C-alpha cells in the first residue's frame, strides 16, 4: 500500500504526485497543511524527522526526498519506465534533479510570500520563537523568519528570477536534440523541472515561456501539460484567490 503525505502547492509533492500518476499507481493521499505547521507536528516528525513534504510510506516504511521517491517508484513498479535505459543517461538524469533541487531557495523567495507569509506575519514574537524551535532545518528556520519579519525585497526577487530564468536557458540547450531533458524520452528529469516551470510560467517570468524567448521549453511545456497524468496529479494554480 502506498500512502503519500504531501502539500498541494509543494513543488516536491507535485513531482511525486506526477510520478505516481504517470505510472498509474493507486495511493492514499494525506494533505499536510504547511500554513498550520502540520509538517512540524510531533506526529509528522515521527515519519519525517526533517519536517518537510512529501513523505511516501510503502508497506509501512517511510521514504523522503522527491527525487529519491520517484526513482524508488520507478524501480519498484517498472511498468511505464521513467528512467533512461543507459547508466550514463541515468547519471545525467540525477544531475538534472540535483541541479534543479539546488534552485529551491530561489523558488521560496516567490512561493512563501503568499499564503505562508500572511500567516507568519500574524505571529507574536513569542509564537514565532516557539515555532522556530520546532523546525529541524536551520535553512527552513531562516526562511520562516524572513517571511515573518524580514520579507524578501524586490532586489532579492529580481536576483532569484534571474537564476530561475537561467534554468530555462539550460533546459533550452538540453531539449534541442530530442525534446526531452535526457535521452529521447520523458523521464524523472522532466518531472523534476515541472513545478519550477509551472511557477515561472504562472507568475515569476511568464514572458520567458514563449516561442520567442525559449521555443524549446515552450514546446516541452505544452507537451507536459497535454499529458493525462498532469491533470490527474492536480498541479493546479499556485496562486488562488
Percent of the chain whose predicted confidence (pLDDT) is above 70: 100
Across the range 14-34, mean pLDDT stands at 97
Kindly indicate the confidence band of residue 52, based on its pLDDT and cuts at 50, 70 and 90: very high
| Mean pLDDT of the residues in the chain | 95
SS3 137: coil
C-alpha to C-alpha distance for 215 and 198, rounded to whole angstroms: 16
Which residues, 6 or more positions from 157, have their beta carbon under 8 angstroms from its beta carbon? 109, 110
Classify domain 87-113+152-232 at the CATH topology level.
Glutathione S-transferase Yfyf (Class Pi); Chain A, domain 2 (1.20.1050)
Kindly indicate the confidence band of residue 225, based on its pLDDT and cuts at 50, 70 and 90: very high
Identical fold between 2-76 and 87-113+152-232: no
> Which segment of 10-19, 81-90, 111-120, 121-130 scores lowest on mean pLDDT?
111-120
Give the per-residue pLDDT at 27. 98
Give the per-residue pLDDT at 113. 87
* pLDDT tens column, 126-177: 999 999 998 998 988 999 999 999 999 999 999 999 999 999 999 999 999 9
Query: What is the chain's alpha carbon radius of gyration, rounded to the nearest angstrom?
Result: 18
* Domain ranges across the chain: 2-76, 87-113+152-232
SS3 5: strand
Q: Does the pLDDT value for residue 241 go beyond 70? A: no
Q: Which of these, 70, 77, 116, 112, lies nearest to 94 by C-alpha position?
A: 70
Kindly indicate the confidence band of residue 43, based on its pLDDT and cuts at 50, 70 and 90: very high
Q: Does the pLDDT value for residue 239 go beyond 90? A: no
CATH of 2-76, one of 3.30.110.40, 3.40.30.10, 3.40.50.1820, 3.10.28.10: 3.40.30.10
Q: Does the pLDDT value for residue 72 go beyond 60? A: yes
Amino acid at each position: 500500500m502506498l500512502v503519500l503525505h504531501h502539500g498541494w502547492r509543494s513543488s516536491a509533492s507535485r513531482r511525486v504526485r506526477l510520478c505516481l500518476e504517470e505510472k498509474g499507481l493507486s495511493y492514499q493521499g494525506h494533505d499536510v497543511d504547511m500554513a498550520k505547521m502540520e509538517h512540524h507536528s510531533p506526529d509528522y516528525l515521527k515519519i519525517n524527522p526533517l519536517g518537510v513534504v512529501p513523505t511516501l510510506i510503502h508497506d509501512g516504511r517511510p521514504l523522503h526526498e522527491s527525487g529519491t521517491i520517484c526513482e524508488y517508484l520507478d524501480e519498484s513498479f517498472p511498468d511505464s519506465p521513467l528512467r533512461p535505459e543507459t547508466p550514463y543517461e541515468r547519471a545525467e538524469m540525477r544531475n538534472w534533479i540535483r541541479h534543479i533541487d539546488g534552485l529551491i531557495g530561489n523558488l521560496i523567495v516567490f512561493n512563501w510570500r503568499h499564503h505562508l507569509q500572511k500567516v507568519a506575519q500574524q505571529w507574536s514574537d513569542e509564537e514565532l520563537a516557539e515555532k522556530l524551535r520546532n523546525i529541524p532545518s536551520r535553512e527552513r528556520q531562516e526562511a520562516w523568519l524572513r517571511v515573518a519579519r524580514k520579507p524578501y525585497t524586490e532586489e532579492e526577487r529580481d536576483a532569484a528570477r534571474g537564476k530561475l530564468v537561467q534554468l530555462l536557458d539550460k533546459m533550452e540547450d538540453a531539449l534541442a536534440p530530442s525534446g526531452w531533458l535526457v535521452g529521447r524520452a520523458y523521464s524523472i528529469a522532466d518531472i523534476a523541472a515541472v513545478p519550477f516551470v509551472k511557477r515561472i510560467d504562472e507568475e515569476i517570468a511568464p514572458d520567458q515561456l514563449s516561442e520567442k524567448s525559449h521555443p524549446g521549453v515552450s514546446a516541452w511545456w505544452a507537451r507536459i501539460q497535454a499529458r493525462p497524468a498532469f491533470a490527474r496529479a492536480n498541479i493546479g494554480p499556485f496562486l488562488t484567490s
